[in-house]
Amino acid sequence: MENTERPFRDQMREQKLFQSRVIVCAVGVLLLTAMLVGRLVQLQVVDTQHFTELSEGNRIRTAPLSPTRGLIFDRNGLLVAENRPMWQLVAVPEEIDDLDGVLNTLKRLDLLSDVDLEELANNVRSRRGFERFTLGNLSESQAARFAVRRHRFPGIDLQEGLVRHYPYAGAGVHAVGYVGSISSDDLEVIDRGEYAATSQIGKTGVERSYETILHGQVGYRQQEVNAQGRVLLDPASTEGGEGQPGLLTRLPTPGKHVVLSIDMRLQLAGARAMGVQRGAVVAIDPRSGDLLALISTPGFDPNRFAAGLSRNDYVALTTDLDNPLFNRALAGRYPPGSTIKPMLGLAALDHGSVDPHEDHYCGGYFTLPGSTHRYRDWREQGHGAMNLHSAIVESCDVYFYRLAVELGIDSLGSSLTAFGFGAPTGIDVSGEAAGIVPSREWKRQQFANPADQVWFPGETVIAGIGQGYMQATPLQLAHATAALAAAGRRFKPRLLIGTEDAVSGVFEEAEPVEIDGVAVADEAHWQRVRDAMLGVTSEPNGTGRTAMLGTPYTVAGKTGTAQVFSVGQDEEYDEENVDERLRDHGLSVAFAPFDAPEIAVAVIVENGGGGSTAAAPVARAILDAPFGIEDHGDSYE
């Protein structure tokens, strides 16, 4: 019979197993409780400030307040950039049933500029439904036209704002610059927090270079909002304007006002004298480096950018053959032509390469020893016997062909470099080109082909009349002329002469910056060259005499003509049968009054022909302006 007895249970063993399980569970519970308590302590005690701020952030929103942009004045206190009140057309997306239809209707009513409606609609939809979105700026007449139709456009409203305005329009645009919408490129370099309430930024000229000073500092206003971000309480809307206790407001700091060296009398005179011609005018005070006029023509109306330029209008400006957006005064590079002859004459005197009293015969052309190639003078029959004085007065090319060869390209180049050619002058706005002073080393670096790196004697010859590879900007020409007027002293050209605090009215003057001057062995050399420049405008054969007849002041100057393309050895230059854009450039430099110069001016008229007929009259208009001659007032259209 099978044994069916069961084994006895080990109660002691089972009790120990149960106890061990209880202990493990208890320890687990204690550990979990400790973790829970620790986490509560972390949240309620250690991190209480952090989470309080996060909680407040869900209840309180900080709205940025835009600072008022600083104003810009000329040296005489004339306002050249201001802020004008204007109307803005705004949209609240959640209140608009048919956004595309509304935008099309607004465009048909001429309340929206020539914009891409699809892109505009996408921008509106990208915002939260209750946030206002600015559709565009309106004139007074447009605002009135919308006001009487407002009931037809739920979700569209008017609000007040400020827009940058330039009273002199295009007359000072390349100096003052303009503001425009903040671009993606701008966002990469600016402090986004400072521009949280600003939609525009300086793009060119003073507006760009002194953006930090003009912009000011952003303020803020705390607003109570709900979970969806909708404003429940705004301090600005509370009675008395003091707001709700606990909601903070910091007013923005307005930008400083900027005072420029520009004299709008000269600026307007130069713009009128240039008219529709392409070119540039720069006037400098030799005593300080102050830019009294900086003009590039044709210009454009910066108010169109400030108000919001349409894509089509911008494309039209960028594709304009005359390139009005290009700042010729700072970045235009031209052969300086005969305007550098006084500097070369000074260099030859200083190096002992020329006897100022010795005559050299000009028969209408110059040839290098052992060569039959003729380098022609601008006067076909020549000038006859010429010394340094008469060669500058009558602008004899043959004399300066010879002088350049005797001086040598190395000495010629170093002398021009001392006047500031071949390098930026250091003006306090961006966009300046360097120009070119050619040399053997420059040519070696410029060309890859060894055969093209060789410096030829003929290149030295034409460098003597400012042709060939040589290029200068109008600013460099004016800067060098100012150095001639000041007998070698040079100052860094500048547009800013001071700032004014918009709140306190405290004016802070900027001191002129003197830089290395032009040194000569004998100070008498300056007077010899300056006397010759006086003869240019006063002697019977002077090339600038006609333009300067009857001035109530003594003026010294030099005219020049720069070829745009080369004429063959046996060819004649026929201006009437040459394309207008291939005609010679006209140049003129001058300073006045002769005995105590206060202004130096350089003028370039693109494809204008001879400097005495095209550029010198413009220089005369600039020099006349401080004397009130043919003063047309302060308005400009």
Active site residues: 338
Burial class (CB in 10 A: 0-12, 13-18, 19+), 63: middle
Burial 592-605 (b: 16+ CB within 10 A, else e): bbbeebebbbbbbb
Residues 164/200, Cβ–Cβ less than 8 Å: yes
| Cβ contact 173:397 at 8 Å | no
Helix/strand/coil for 335: coil
Closest CA to 533 of 344, 369, 380, 362: 344
Nearest to 207 by CA among 160, 166, 242, 252: 166
Tokens of 246: 């606990």
Q: How far is CA 159 from the centre of its chain?
A: 31
What CA–CA distance (Å, rounded) separates 232 from 237?
11
Environment class of 190 (CB within 10 Å of its CB; exposed 0-12, middle 13-18, buried 19+): middle
Asked if 360 contacts 376 with a C-beta cutoff of 8 angstroms, the reply is: no
Beta-bridge partners for 97: none
Q: Give how far Cα 358 sits from Cα of 343, 353, 426, Å.
A: 19, 11, 39
Token representation of residue 75: 């040296």
d(CA 427, CA 433): 11
E strand or H helix at 441:
helix 440-446
Tokens of 225: 């909002």
CA distances, 4 to each of 8, 9, 10, 405 (Å): 13, 15, 19, 135
- Which H/E stretch holds residue 100? helix 99-108
Question: What is the rounded CA–CA span in Å between residue 86 and residue 38?
Answer: 59
Q: Quick check: helix, strand or coil at residue 385?
A: strand
How many angstroms separate the CA atoms of 176 and 211, rounded? 12
Cis peptide preceding 342, ω within 30 of 0 = no
Return d(Cα 254, Cα 424) in angstroms, integer. 33
